[in-house]
Copies of this chain bind each other. A is one copy, B any other.
């Protein structure tokens, strides 16, 4: 196993369950095993006093309870599939060949943009960079921070640092933020961020750090799969240069599997291969890779994503309208402005967009913007509906929960499906 991230440890745990006597070695380049990447903004904002809270388990847990030979600080330098071995450098700097019967690659993702080395440039998705950034902030002297990249990681990081009292400016090369959403849902986001005191500079491609008037730079300008080792070993790469795998997570070499952010997935609706670095699908892939059981196959992913930004929750699953049309569907969107409670009980607003196939009368995607707490679980219903392949009429007849203070008689999704079905 290469990589002690969530995908890697899911795979190792599943393999252990399958065979209690298997010798399982997990080689991890970094200093920490399996932590919640997605929780880093809560450390940067100051809400969490220590990064330790983000560890899912202490290292001893994996060693003692799951019987994994977990080696931190071990970097894989070279992979020889034909000889079933990988060259590893240990923390002391010594190099040696490690032999395996089966190898699972869970090498994760790395920042796509690599600015010239400079002091006070930090990646957003890394434990060690978060430690370094926090230390630099505590040391003082950093007041103005530039966050480069307006995807959900950049936006969460910008808001977290603003909460910490810093002077934050967000840069993105495009005209819109959060571009996996339909723009109708996110149009007000720049203004809402500005209202929090975050500077927003759209349509600005940051090429070098010189032009940024900032004491520190956070690199949120996207990720790429960490597939260099696999590529050099001759493994086939796929979408976005992610490691190509089948639905058993097997790579082009039969003894090597890959899971998580380094591996390709496929879209659950279109079956198109794509790269989608998200936590839950990464864990699911790990489980499939570790099970090594032809009955357990990865069904692909919907790209379900939820993020709290500037006082609203934003969520998406399935295809956006633009993605649906690009995939060749005769797609339309039905937008409803609805509420999370009965109208007479100070209801919280929700806006839902249902992207649907006008020919097949089927949903293709759902996007939501709502008051805090109103979006995530609703998104799960939409994801279940998409995974199950329900049609618009079946959505109309879902037997949803209703109680005036807790849920409206007609859910926004039901209303949208009804309206779309009438057209």
Contact = CB atoms under 8 A, between A and B. Distances in A.
A375 to B, nearest CB: 7
A337 interface: no
Interface string A277-292: 0111101100000000
Contacts of A409: 6, 36, 279-280, 283
A363 to B, nearest CB: 12
Contact of A280 (B296, B345, B387, B402): B402
Contacts of A281: 399
A165 interface: no
A298 B397 CA distance: 8
A195 interface: no
A345 B42 contact: yes
A36 B345 CA distance: 12
Interface string A39-58: 10010000110000110000
A317 interface: yes
Interface in A3-62: 6, 36, 38-39, 42, 47-48, 53-54
A96 interface: no
A332 interface: no
Contact of A411 (B42, B313, B374, B380): B380
Contacts of A136: none
A36 B410 CA distance: 13
A204 interface: no
Give the most central of A6, A268, A304, A397: most B CB within 10 Å.
A397
Contacts of A375: 401, 406
B384 A306 contact: no
Contacts of A381: 377, 380-381, 384
B376 A36 contact: no
A280 B315 contact: no
A400 B345 CA distance: 29
A207 interface: no
Contact of A377 (B280, B303, B387, B407): B407
B402 A383 contact: no
A124 to B, nearest CB: 15
Contacts of A301: 399
A294 B304 CA distance: 36
A401 B388 contact: no
Contact of A405 (B303, B308, B345): B308
A332 to B, nearest CB: 21
A53 B137 CA distance: 52
Contact of A384 (B36, B390, B393, B403): B390
Nearest to A297: B397
A28 to B, nearest CB: 19
A55 to B, nearest CB: 9
Nearest to A300: B399
Contact of A380 (B299, B305, B401): B401
A307 interface: yes
Interface in A392-422: 393-394, 396-407, 409-411
